[in-house]
Chain A
Amino acid sequence: MSLSTQDLSVGYHGKAIVKEVSFELPKGKIIALLGPNGCGKSTLLKAMARILKPMTGQVFWNDQDLHQMPSRQLSKELALLPQTQPIPEGVKVKDLVAYGRSPYTGFWGRLNKEDNRIINDVMAQVGITELGEQLVSELSGGQRQRAWLAMTLAQDTPYLLLDEPTTYMDLSHQVELMQTLRKLNSSGKTIITVLHDINQAARYCDHLIVMKDGEIITQGEPENVLTQDMLKTVFSLNAQIHRDPIANTPMCVVE
């Protein structure tokens, strides 16, 4: 399994947001996609999840053009958590999570034992078991985000594409989420996630990809990517790099 792009340009209304990007996702790692607002992180993620069609270039899934492949087959291989979610009226949390199983369900969306086991597992993983009977529209922002995340996890795909999964979450749920991602990663999943907290990315991710103006500026291990120069050129920030006293990972402190 591999997910890569070649000379990929993609955008909206004829205007390219991501410009001729070529890269391959390192398999089996947690990858953070970093960059200032509007640099094309979400757009890149959507193109890799086949939601947006490329203007030029291709996305490859195992050396096949991703956008030519049957959508249902891909839905068992990669799952996307979009940045913004609609609030469906009258849908219960456990039904929402169950919809994540729809690539697998047979005739008329019937759930089998295995489906129900996975649904219960992922709900426990993100800590929403007790919210199951509530309506999605009645949840708080952070709870709702976790419900959607559970739906994405219920898809049970080897590749996970997450667009700002920590949005709306309080600090303790953010930490819990990053630890959940590590656990999923050690069970074999490749995870790429857009994050805004650079220190969180450096601490929990194996590989950082930094974007600016639709191009990939640099990528690699946090040790090599998180530098004073990079913060200056990409984020226009004057910052120092220190060691995280607990995890011993690089960490930036703004001057």
Chain B
Amino acid sequence: MDAIQGLLSPSKDVIAQHIVHDIRLPRALLAATVGACFAAAGVVMQGLTQNPLASPAVLGVNAGAALGMAAVSTITPWFGLLGISMAAMIGGGVAWTLVMILGSAWRGGSDTGRLVLAGVAISALCAAFTKALVIMEEDQASAVLSWLAGSFANGNWDTWSLFWPVALFALIGSQLLTPTLNLLQLGDDNAQNLGISLVWTKLAGSVLVLILVGSAIGASGSISFVGLLVPHMARILCGQDHRYFLPLSMLMGSALVVLADTLSRGIIFPLETPAGAILALIGAPFFIYLVKKRAS
């Protein structure tokens, strides 16, 4: 009862209502939007690369963004959320570009294994640099570490107000890209024949992915597996038409991350397990399953 009251019209005196309004609500909103962003980024990346294993975490965008973020917050800690999001986008962008070049994904018909290998290699490299930064700048280490694990414990209204306009823009943008993603699955030749400009599509898609991932990582930290897991679950539920399974992916991504965040508060109460760790626990077996299914 207090919870509902707190949502609708928080009174100043009841502590439970305060908790719901000032702590729980922004945190839940953040978790839901971050989940939608990662899921959408996964859908767009899988569509662009035509690779079922593509996702921000597998193809190095998360690691690059984390490195960018770590660099900014250890070297110049006064940048604030926008600065951190920008740094995450730039870091993710550099990593993604490197992966695309190494995996020769700009050329049509590139083989899928090569792209994933490039992603793993770049991720490892970025992770190594990030660790070096953390070791060098010990005062900032704990903040960076909690980001790396991906947690909503620090979510508040300030974070939310900076995050949602960017996220909304990118989520709508990716929705506008869906008819094009549909055509990309017919192969590069057919897509071009149907009037799609491959260069512009891949560029626009990549920029959207970077905004989605960069802003989400800036708001919560590095959350893996949502981008990989959710698009596949949504596809199983509603088929291959991107116009329908992208919005479904967003919803499922939201639900999954909110669920993980709820679990993260409860598992070893009153301590918090990072939501990212919970997701990894669910996601890792699914990733292995996907790899096995493709191998057979």
Q: Footprint of B on A, CB under 8 Å?
A: 46, 49-51, 71-76, 79-80, 82, 85-86, 88-91, 95-96, 99-100, 102-103, 105, 108-109, 151-152, 155
**CB closest residue in chain A, given B241:** A95
Cβ A80 vs Cβ B243 within 8 A:
no
Return chain A residues, CB-CB under 8 Å to B114. Answer: none
B192-216 near A? 1/0 per residue, CB < 8 Å:
1111110000000000000000000
Return chain A residues, CB-CB under 8 Å to B195. Answer: 71-76, 102-103
B193 contact from A73, A75, A96, Cβ within 8 A: A75
Cβ A96 vs Cβ B186 within 8 A:
yes
Whole-angstrom CA separation of A100 from B193 in the bound complex: 9
Cβ A75 vs Cβ B189 within 8 A:
no
Cβ B235 vs Cβ A102 within 8 A:
no
B156-177 near A? 1/0 per residue, CB < 8 Å:
0000000000000000000010
Cβ A80 vs Cβ B239 within 8 A:
no
Question: With A108-B179, A108-B243 as given contacts, are A103 and B189 in contact (CB-CB < 8 Å)?
Answer: no
Whole-angstrom CA separation of A80 from B187 in the bound complex: 13
Cβ B189 vs Cβ A51 within 8 A:
yes
Output the least CB separation between A40 and chain B (Å): 17
Q: List 9 A-B contacts (CB under 8 A).
A: A49-B192, A71-B196, A75-B194, A80-B193, A85-B187, A86-B185, A108-B179, A108-B243, A152-B193
Cβ B240 vs Cβ A109 within 8 A:
no
Cβ B194 vs Cβ A88 within 8 A:
no
Output the least CB separation between A170 and chain B (Å): 24
Cβ B243 vs Cβ A109 within 8 A:
yes
Return chain A residues, CB-CB under 8 Å to B260. Answer: none
**CB closest residue in chain A, given B175:** A108
Interface hits, B252-288 → A, CB 8 Å:
none
* Most chain B CB within a 10 A radius of its CB, from A50, A71, A79: A71
**Interface footprint category on B:** 20 to 34
**CB closest residue in chain A, given B242:** A109
Whole-angstrom CA separation of A50 from B195 in the bound complex: 10
Whether B110 sits at the interface, judged by CB under 8 Å, is: no
Question: With A72-B195, A109-B243 as given contacts, are A82 and B179 in contact (CB-CB < 8 Å)?
Answer: no
Return chain B residues, CB-CB under 8 Å to A75. Answer: 193-195
Whether B182 sits at the interface, judged by CB under 8 Å, is: yes
Output the least CB separation between A138 and chain B (Å): 14
Whether B217 sits at the interface, judged by CB under 8 Å, is: no
Output the least CB separation between A111 and chain B (Å): 11
Closest 5 CB pairs of A and B: A75-B195, A72-B195, A109-B179, A90-B240, A86-B187
Cβ A102 vs Cβ B183 within 8 A:
yes
Cβ B193 vs Cβ A86 within 8 A:
no
Whole-angstrom CA separation of A96 from B240 in the bound complex: 11
B194 contact from A85, A89, A155, Cβ within 8 A: A155
**CB closest residue in chain B, given A89:** B240
Cβ B192 vs Cβ A86 within 8 A:
no
Whether B97 sits at the interface, judged by CB under 8 Å, is: no
Cβ B240 vs Cβ A80 within 8 A:
no
Whether B154 sits at the interface, judged by CB under 8 Å, is: no
Output the least CB separation between A84 and chain B (Å): 9
Output the least CB separation between A79 and chain B (Å): 6
Return chain B residues, CB-CB under 8 Å to A100. Answer: 194
Cβ B186 vs Cβ A86 within 8 A:
yes
Question: With A90-B235, A99-B183, A109-B182 as given contacts, are A49 and B240 in contact (CB-CB < 8 Å)?
Answer: no
* Most chain A CB within a 10 A radius of its CB, from B182, B189, B243: B189
Output the least CB separation between B189 and chain A (Å): 4
Cβ A102 vs Cβ B190 within 8 A:
no
Cβ A88 vs Cβ B240 within 8 A:
yes
Return chain A residues, CB-CB under 8 Å to B243. Answer: 108-109
A102 contact from B176, B179, B185, B241, Cβ within 8 A: B179
